Amino acid sequence: MPILLPDMEEAALDALRNDRFLRGENVVKFEEEFARFVGTRYAVALSSGTAALDFIFSVLGVSDQKVVTSTWSFIASANSIAHAGGRPVLADISETDYCLDPEQVEQDLEQGARGVLPVHIYGHPVDWDRFEELGQRYRVPVVEDACQAHGARYKGRPVGSLGIAAAFSFYPSKNMTVLGDGGMVTTNDETIAGQVAKIRDQGRSSEYEHDIMGYTARMNTVNAAIGRAQLKHLREWNDRRRVIADSYFRSLTDLTPSIRLPPRPSKDVEPVYHQFVIRSEKRDQLRGYMRDKGVQCNIHYPIPIHLQPLYMSTFGYAGKTFPRSELMARECLSLPMHPFLTDDDVNYVSEQMTAFFRRGA
Ligand SMILES: Cc1ncc(COP(=O)(O)O)c(C=O)c1O
């Protein structure tokens, strides 16, 4: 649920009236503030999360190389590898956290994959130590897809600062948004930051000179101004999401094993609950029941990437199966989750869930 508060309206109007429409002061400030938030030396603002991923892979140079990512993600994770000329290799998820399974990644690395893109799905940080270890052992870059995980932490370190580079999205449904499309690359690597900044601006080396291939993929100044205002609220919004998640965990525990709750937080893993996703064999009946009771629950995602028509026809995935992701597609249900839900809203959702299972549906 995108949030438009008066401070964001003021920031947007101020940017429109007083800043440059493109390459404005607000863009530079947003990059500095976001880099500080994530704890990296650099942040580069872009027109989308997809552009952020695309350009990281372009700079890493994955042409004709295999890069492994999760089939249980938004399609952009895999597409970005192809956009940069690489070959997306899809792998299944782990049963416990629904993130890319390191065991399967290892098999793909054994078979020649030259990079890994774990996805912090639903705002839940991946088990980073395993990926870091694989990256070092096979000498391949590990890039983070942090598009759903603004503010999540792994062993006290913010996601976005763990890999060689990371991509964030500010699409309106995210934990923070620029109220339009937008993205960010975060990295400690000066070359990656510099090259990504160049690619977003037509590969410009000076005003009328271009020495590498690029695109028009800058972030608009007005969006950056809104992003700065949103960033100020992010910690408080994420805290509220955690309180809501706690409430769901407490009141829905009795419904297990009819439902399966999301992975729990731990001292090492601090999620930000972009989504609160449960599993149930009766997912479709439950969803219909909740809809009748006025509760909108969504499905993220109905189709894993390997079953997308594009991936079956173009990337050779027809007939391939990844059972854990396919099970998720059949059983997953995202409960309402955003920082402006009231306690009454959250209790109502839990009560209706309980009523569904108590009536022996
Ligand atoms: C996991 C994941 N990766 C990549 C993206 C792409 O971001 P965008 O929609 O900003 O291009 C998204 C978001 O939509 C996402 O959820």
Which tens digit of pLDDT belongs to each residue from 97-124?
A: 999 999 999 999 999 999 999 999 999 9
Tokens of 207: 């005003």
Produce one character per residue of 28-57: b if its CB has 16 or more CB atoms within 10 Å, e if not: eebbebbbebbebebbbbbbbbbbbbbbbb
Please determine, for residue 361, whether its predicted confidence score (pLDDT) is greater than 70.
Answer: no
Which tens digit of pLDDT belongs to each residue from 62-83?
A: 999 999 999 999 999 999 999 9
* CB of residue 72 inside a 6 A radius of ligand 1: no
* CB of residue 113 inside a 6 A radius of ligand 1: no
* CB of residue 122 inside a 6 A radius of ligand 1: no
Average pLDDT, the chain: 97
- Give the pLDDT band (50/70/90) at residue 55: very high
* CB of residue 79 inside a 6 A radius of ligand 1: no
Question: What is the number of the ligand 1 atom nearest to the C-alpha of 80?
Answer: 4
* CB of residue 183 inside a 6 A radius of ligand 1: yes
Question: What is the number of the ligand 1 atom nearest to the C-alpha of 182?
Answer: 10
- Which pLDDT score, from 0 to 100, does residue 2 have? 82
Question: What is the number of the ligand 1 atom nearest to the C-alpha of 76?
Answer: 4
Please determine, for residue 132, whether its predicted confidence score (pLDDT) is greater than 90.
Answer: yes
The CB density around residue 23, as the number of other CB atoms within 10 Å, is 14
Question: What is the number of the ligand 1 atom nearest to the C-alpha of 50?
Answer: 11
- Give the pLDDT band (50/70/90) at residue 1: confident
* CB of residue 245 inside a 6 A radius of ligand 1: no
Task: State phi, psi for 106 to the nearest 5 degrees.
Answer: -60, -40
Helices 343-358 and 221-252: crossing angle, nearest 10°?
A: 50
Centre of ligand 1 from the C-alpha of residue 45, in Å: 14
Pocket test of ligand 1: the residue of 80, 159, 171 to mutate, having most ligand atoms within 8 Å of its CB, is 171
Please determine, for residue 54, whether its predicted confidence score (pLDDT) is greater than 90.
Answer: yes
pLDDT cut 70: percent of the chain above it: 99
Please determine, for residue 150, whether its predicted confidence score (pLDDT) is greater than 70.
Answer: yes
Tokens of 92: 């299944």
Cα separation, 143 vs 139, in Å, equals 13
- Which pLDDT score, from 0 to 100, does residue 329 have? 98
